[in-house]
Homo-oligomer: A and B are copies of this chain.
Amino acid sequence: MFTQEEKDAFYKVIYTRRDIRSFLPIPIERNVIDNILHAGHHAPSVGFMQPWNYILISSEAIKEKLAWAADKERRAMAIHFEGERESEFLSLKVEGLKEAPLTICVTCDPTRGGSHILGRNSIPETDALSTACSIQNMWLAACAEGLAMGWVSFYKKNDIRDILDIPPHVDPIALLSVGYTDAYPDKPILETANWEKRSRLGHLIFENRWGNCCGSHSQIK
């Protein structure tokens, strides 16, 4: 169904995608944004619930407020990283909300589709997991379009609800910064900054039950 060239192109997107926090002040074409949103909307969702909404934020005033909420949370979180880890944390650039020309707030409405959603009746958080699948589609699409994206998860949800008039029952899952960048790194920023290493995949794979390491995968890095 897919040629080797098509597979290669797909995997190129998978392995090129990065979480970015530095953006250039270059506007994004409307049709490119639409391509990203369209890919997001074609993610899988539990019971075909499609619990997501996409709030496109280009207003400078509103982006300022979002950046304020994220910075407040960043400073609060720094207190929990004590000693050396605190100064290391404070030196990281954790968001680029004011730089990026566009922020997309992706939300999850747990009431979408009625009270009994096929699959969600068993595991309620599958609505948020579906929304994460939508975000991952958007992230990969942004990468394919030559754009950079960063997922900001430093905020108190009620600050974001207040700033964007989001109803109390709706969950602001992510603030996605979107824009062009001149700093598309080969490796995750947190790996380069020696914050955390990539785990060896072979150590994360078990066979038939938890803890049962499988020999043939142990060579996978």
Q: Is the interface of A mostly helix, strand, loop or mixed?
A: mixed
> A55 interface residue, CB < 8 Å from B?
yes
In contact, A204 and B59 (Cβ under 8 angstroms) = no
Using C-beta atoms within 8 Å of the partner chain, give the interface range for chain A. 35 or more
- Mark A185-220 against chain B: 1 for CB-CB distance below 8 A, else 0: 000101100011011010011111111001011001
In contact, A209 and B133 (Cβ under 8 angstroms) = no
In contact, A136 and B144 (Cβ under 8 angstroms) = no
Report the minimal beta-carbon distance from A179 to chain B, rounded to whole angstroms: 15
In contact, A198 and B50 (Cβ under 8 angstroms) = yes
Report the minimal beta-carbon distance from A198 to chain B, rounded to whole angstroms: 7
> Quick one: which of A110-137 are within 8 Å of B by CB?
113, 116, 118-123, 125-126, 128-133, 135-137
Q: Which A residues are closer than 8 A to B by beta carbons?
A: 1-2, 5-7, 9-17, 19, 30, 34-35, 37-39, 41-44, 46-50, 52-59, 62, 73, 77, 80-81, 89, 92, 94, 107, 113, 116, 118-123, 125-126, 128-133, 135-137, 139-141, 143-146, 151, 153-157, 164-167, 170, 173-174, 184, 188, 190-191, 195-196, 198-199, 201, 204-211, 214, 216-217, 220
CA distance A144 to B9 in the complex (A): 10
Closest B-chain residue to A129, C-beta based?
Answer: B132
Residue numbers in B under 8 Å from A220 (CB-CB): 34, 37-38
In contact, B208 and A54 (Cβ under 8 angstroms) = no
Q: Which of B42, B116, B123, B141 touches A157 (beta carbons < 8 Å)?
A: B123
Listed by A's residue number, 29 A-B pairs whose Cβ atoms lie within 8 Å are A1-B146, A2-B13, A6-B12, A10-B141, A11-B39, A11-B141, A14-B42, A17-B44, A30-B216, A43-B136, A47-B195, A48-B191, A53-B204, A53-B206, A54-B204, A54-B206, A55-B205, A55-B209, A56-B205, A56-B214, A59-B208, A62-B208, A94-B119, A119-B153, A122-B153, A128-B132, A129-B129, A132-B136, A165-B211
CA distance A7 to B10 in the complex (A): 8
In contact, A94 and B122 (Cβ under 8 angstroms) = no
